[in-house]
Each structure stands twice: as structure tokens, then as C-alpha cells.
């Protein structure tokens, strides 16, 4: 598997800005985007980002994707469900089970944290409720465990859990399941039930003991992994050991680097102003630091 120089997870203002810099510096750059996801899709008329007065978020995005592609970056419509360090490289896995490796990783997935909204999530976190199978899966060896989520990320977590316990169920929490055929088949083969009921509450004394479902039914479960929606920066933080701030934002330095060398973060996932200019600025900071690091140059000069 040929390694990319830079893998960017997220194709909003932060990720695309990082990519335009690294691509113009002739670093082999791969950007992942989950179609239709991200705050930028919701902006109707952007009036405060220079040069784009009145543009819709969609127009901004289309122009940005075209620009990074023009300079050689690849933009792939695929959801990243897993990320890990592999020696000197970082490996990511997508919803359709493909793997890619990069020398540097930029997390630019927008807002960082999706709560399950289930009563008791906070109280039982660390007492049965968890967020990362790679980190906490071994604590649930042989136990009955639920995964709360309806997409590829939940499927990935459920399959990973099987290494620790065979008693795993996925609850979509009242939503439709949105699974790739590969994930659906893998879950079926492993005998993991897909349940659509809504989970109202996590119940127990000191530790999680039961899930309370809509209608009041209570089921014995000693573990629950929250894996709603797309894998967020919050999930990648767990998997890669990244430091988080009080609002679960990723902590970065002035170069956009996290506490794990080679992993950078930019935009909504680092907290602060939810603005395009802030996201783009952080994408630029991360990219310039990566360019210096990978090319060994002290100064960044765009000579494209």
C-alpha cells in the first residue's frame, strides 16, 4: 500500500484549506469527505469570508474541492471509521473497509462531539458507558454490550468488540440503519442483532446494569459504547490518544499539532469561533507545519 504524505479527514473549510497548501507544495494529499455532512452545507449566504460575499456554503465547497483537485489532491467521498498509528505512519479505514496510510494526519471533521442524548450517559461514563472499543473494549471481556449508533462507525465498533465478547447488539436508537453492504453482511455473519428501539436511559447502581428502552422495557447490559453518526474528532481522539479540552475539543499548539506528533487538527473540532475564517486559518497553520516537517525546510514559500 503506497503511503500518502498527508491524509486529511474532512472536506470543509479547514480540511480543504490544509489540502490546497499541501497539494501546492507537491505533497501527495488525500482528503476524505462524508457527502452532505459538515456545517458548511448549512451556510446559506456567507457574508464575512473575504472574496465570497453572498456565496452559499455549497458553492464555497464546490469551488474549494475543484481548487484542491486542480493542484493534485485527491478528494474521496468516503467516511473514515477508524484511525490508528502504524509505526511511523497513520492508517485510516473507511466505511467500505478500504485502508489508506499517510505520513501526517489532519483531523478536520468539524464539531467534535455527538452525545447519545440518552439519560445517564454522563453519570455512567467510565462506569459501563464508553466511547472507543480500541481503548476500552478489553474491559468488557465476556460481558453483554450494546453499541448505540446507526451507521458505519457503529458497525466498525461492534465488529471490533467481538474480539472481547460475543454478546454484542447494535441499537440504532430509533433511527434507520445506514450501513454499507459490506458492514451489513459482516454483522449478519457475526450474528450481531440490529435493533431499532430507542434507548431512553442507562440504569444501574454504581455501574451500568440495564438499558431502559422506549415503552419501559429494561434489558440487562453491562456495557454500552456510544458510536452515533459519523466517527467524530472525539472518536479519533480516543483512538489516537489525543488530548481533549473541557468541551471535548481537540487541543492543538500554534502549528495546529496535537499532543501526538504527526497528528494535526483544524476547524470546528478544535473549538472556539465557529467561523469559516477560523477554520481556514487553522487548516493553513497545520499544512505549513506539515510542509516544513515533511520537506525539512525551515521556511514555507509557495512557489507553485
d(CA 195, CA 229): 16
Distance of closest approach, residue 64 Cβ to ligand FAD, in angstroms: 10
Question: Among the candidate windows 31-39, 185-193, 209-217, 244-252, which touches ligand FAD by CB under 6 A?
Answer: 31-39
Q: Which stretch binds ligand FAD (CB under 6 A): 35-43, 65-73, 116-124, 252-260?
A: 35-43
Site for ligand FAD in 42-61 (CB under 6 A): 42-43, 46-49, 57
Distance CA 304, CA 297 (A): 16
Establish if 242 lies at the interface with ligand FAD (CB under 6 A): no
Shortest CB 141 distance to ligand FAD, Å:
28
State the nearest-atom distance from the C-beta of 136 to ligand FAD, in Å: 20
Closest CB to ligand FAD among residues 208, 263: 263
* Side-by-side strand order, sheet with 218-220: 199-204, 208-213, 218-220
Least separation in angstroms between residue 11's CB and ligand FAD is 4
Binding range to ligand FAD, per CB under 6 A, among 29-37, 125-133, 188-196, 290-298: 29-37
Residue 82 touching ligand FAD (CB under 6 A): no
| Closest distance to ligand FAD from the beta carbon of 150 (Å) | 14
Q: Is 11 in the site for ligand FAD (CB under 6 A)?
A: yes
- Shortest separation between residue 269's beta carbon and ligand FAD, angstroms: 6
Angle between helices 13-24 and 57-70 (to 10 degrees): 20
Question: Which is closer to ligand FAD, CB of 137 or CB of 268?
Answer: 268
From candidates 7, 27, 80, 162, binder to ligand FAD by CB under 6 A: 80
Considering only residues 258 to 277 of the shown chain, the ones binding ligand FAD according to CB under 6 A are: 267-268, 274-277
Question: Which of 18, 19, 27, 34 is close enough to bind ligand FAD by CB under 6 A?
Answer: 34
Give the 3-state secondary structure of the chain. CCCEEEEEECCCHHHHHHHHHHHHCCCCEEEEECCCCCHHHHCCCECCCCCCCCECHHHHHHHHHHHHHHCCCEEEECCEEEEEEECCEEEEEECCCCEEEEEEEEECCCCCCCCCCCECHHHHECCCEECCHHHHHHHHCCCCEEEECCCHHHHHHHHHHCCCCCCEEEECCCCCCCCCHHHHHHHHHHCCCEECCCEEEEEECCCEEEEEEHHHCEEECCEEEECCCCCCHHHHHHHHCCCECCCCCECCCCCCECCCCCEEECHHHHCCCCCHHHHHHHHHHHHHHHHHHHHCCCCCCCCC
Query: Which one of 22, 29, 109, 248 is in contact with ligand FAD (CB under 6 A)?
Result: 109
Q: Which residues bind ligand FAD (CB under 6 A)?
A: 9-15, 32-34, 37-40, 42-43, 46-49, 57, 79-80, 108-110, 230-231, 267-268, 274-277, 279
Amino acid at each position: 500500500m503506497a503511503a500518502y504524505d498527508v491524509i486529511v479527514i474532512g472536506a470543509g473549510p479547514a480540511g480543504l484549506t490544509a489540502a490546497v497548501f499541501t497539494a501546492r507544495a507537491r505533497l501527495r494529499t488525500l482528503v476524505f469527505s462524508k457527502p452532505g455532512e459538515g456545517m458548511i452545507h448549512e451556510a446559506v449566504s456567507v457574508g464575512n469570508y473575504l472574496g465570497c460575499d453572498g456565496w452559499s456554503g455549497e458553492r464555497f465547497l464546490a469551488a474549494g474541492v475543484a481548487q484542491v483537485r486542480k493542484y493534485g489532491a485527491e478528494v474521496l467521498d468516503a467516511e473514515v471509521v477508524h484511525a490508528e498509528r502504524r509505526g511511523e505512519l497513520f492508517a485510516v479505514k473507511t466505511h467500505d473497509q478500504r485502508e489508506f496510510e499517510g505520513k501526517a494526519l489532519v483531523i478536520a471533521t468539524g464539531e467534535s462531539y455527538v452525545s447519545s442524548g440518552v439519560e445517564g450517559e454522563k453519570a455512567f461514563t467510565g462506569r459501563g458507558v464508553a466511547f472507543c472499543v480500541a481503548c476500552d473494549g478489553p474491559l468488557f471481556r465476556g460481558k453483554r454490550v450494546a453499541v448505540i449508533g446507526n451507521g458505519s462507525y457503529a458497525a466498525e465498533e461492534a465488529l471490533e468488540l467481538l474480539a472481547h465478547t460475543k454478546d454484542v447488539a447494535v441499537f440504532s436508537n430509533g433511527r434507520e440503519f445506514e450501513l454499507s453492504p459490506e458492514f451489513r453482511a459482516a454483522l449478519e455473519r457475526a450474528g450481531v442483532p440490529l435493533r431499532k428501539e430507542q434507548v431512553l436511559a442507562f440504569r444501574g447502581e454504581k455501574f451500568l446494569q440495564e438499558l431502559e428502552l422506549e415503552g419501559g422495557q429494561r434489558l440487562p447490559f453491562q456495557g454500552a459504547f456510544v458510536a452515533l453518526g459519523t466517527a467524530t474528532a472525539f472518536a479519533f481522539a480516543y483512538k489516537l490518544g489525543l488530548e481533549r479540552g473541557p468541551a471535548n475539543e481537540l487541543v492543538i499548539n500554534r502549528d495546529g499539532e496535537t499532543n501526538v506528533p504527526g497528528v494535526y487538527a483544524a476547524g470546528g473540532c478544535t473549538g472556539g469561533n465557529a467561523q469559516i475564517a477560523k477554520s481556514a486559518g487553522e487548516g493553513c497553520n497545520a499544512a505549513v507545519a506539515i510542509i516544513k516537517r515533511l520537506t525539512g525546510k525551515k521556511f514555507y514559500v509557495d512557489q507553485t
